[in-house]
Amino acid sequence: ALLDLSGTHQVKGTWMGSTTLPCTYTPSEGFTQQTLTWSMERDYSTSTLFRRDDSGDHILLSRFRDRVSVPKHSPGNASLLIESLEIPDSGHYTCKVTWRSKNNSLITKELTTTVRVVKVAATKPVIRAGELGLTVPAGARTSLTCVASGSPPISYRWFRSAPGGKALLLSSQAELAWDSLQPSDAGKYYCEAENR
């Protein structure tokens, strides 16, 4: 496993946030890093966005200027940090390192990571507490509506508590409605919200 690059296959980032694409190796005696490039493939075209060589660090795609960097003084760490992520930053990124050995031969290894930029981080649904304890006259029309925040799509289910701790499923919609309330409709109702 001499001079093997290690990283990860997929990285998720949040729009306007930052993400690191890992690309590391164990420095080995007798091998010096000559060049490091990061290229990006999107819509079947590949372009180099970052290059490090004897003359320094170069950012070759203007839209990444001031947004990408690679650690300066940590040998073996070629990871790419992308800041202020934009949706078009999604794509396949390849880290390519070339080393020169003592006998002047070159070794090149590469590693590809897929980046997905999402608008918002995925979040679990959180139900907004409704009014607790509603008193409604018999014969009235009424409804209970369940509202949850979180990543869409969110599905809702309404249950009614039954004796013996059982739950009766009443509705698979966000709203539970009655045309004409009966005294027998009195009881405890609860809502469940679910997303992926």
Backbone angles phi, psi at 25, to 5 degrees: -150, 165
Whether 135 and 107 map to the same domain: the answer is no
**72-76: long-range contacts (C-beta < 8 A, 24 or more apart)?**
75/27, 75/33, 76/24, 76/25, 76/26, 76/27
Whether 25 and 82 map to the same domain: the answer is yes
Residue 120: count other Cβ atoms within 10 Å of its Cβ.
10
Whether 93 and 30 map to the same domain: the answer is yes
Q: Report the alpha-carbon distance of residue 97 to residue 167 in Å, rounded.
A: 60
Whether 21 and 102 map to the same domain: the answer is yes
Domain boundary among 66, 99, 118: 118
Domain boundary among 88, 118, 148: 118
Whether 82 and 144 map to the same domain: the answer is no
Q: Give residue 10's pLDDT band: very low, low, confident or very high (50, 70, 90).
A: very high
Backbone angles phi, psi at 96, to 5 degrees: -130, 120
Residue 162: count other Cβ atoms within 10 Å of its Cβ.
11
Q: Give residue 1's pLDDT band: very low, low, confident or very high (50, 70, 90).
A: very low
Whether 14 and 111 map to the same domain: the answer is yes
Whether 11 and 67 map to the same domain: the answer is yes
Q: What residues contact 2, with CB distance under 8 A and at least 6 apart? A: 28
Residue 43: predicted pLDDT: 85
Supply the range of the domain harboring residue 178: 126-195
Whether 48 and 108 map to the same domain: the answer is yes
Cα dist from 189 to 7, 132, 158, 169, whole Å: 49, 10, 7, 10
Q: What residues contact 189, with CB distance under 8 A and at least 6 apart? A: 144, 158, 159, 160, 161, 170, 176
Residue 129: predicted pLDDT: 73
Residue 151: predicted pLDDT: 79
User: How do beta strands 106-118 and 10-14 pair?
Assistant: parallel
**Quick check: 158 and 171 in contact, CB under 8 A?**
yes
What average pLDDT score do residues 39-52 get?
94
Whether 20 and 109 map to the same domain: the answer is yes
Assign residue 76 the CATH number of its domain: 2.60.40.10
State pLDDT tens for residues 131-147.
677 888 999 998 889 98
- Output the pTM of the full model: 0.62
Domain boundary among 118, 150, 173: 118
Q: Which residue has the tokens 């396949």?
A: 92
Whether 86 and 23 map to the same domain: the answer is yes
Whether 73 and 164 map to the same domain: the answer is no
Cα four-point dihedral sign 15, 16, 22, 23? positive
Whether 17 and 82 map to the same domain: the answer is yes
Q: How many domains does the structure of the chain reveal?
A: 2
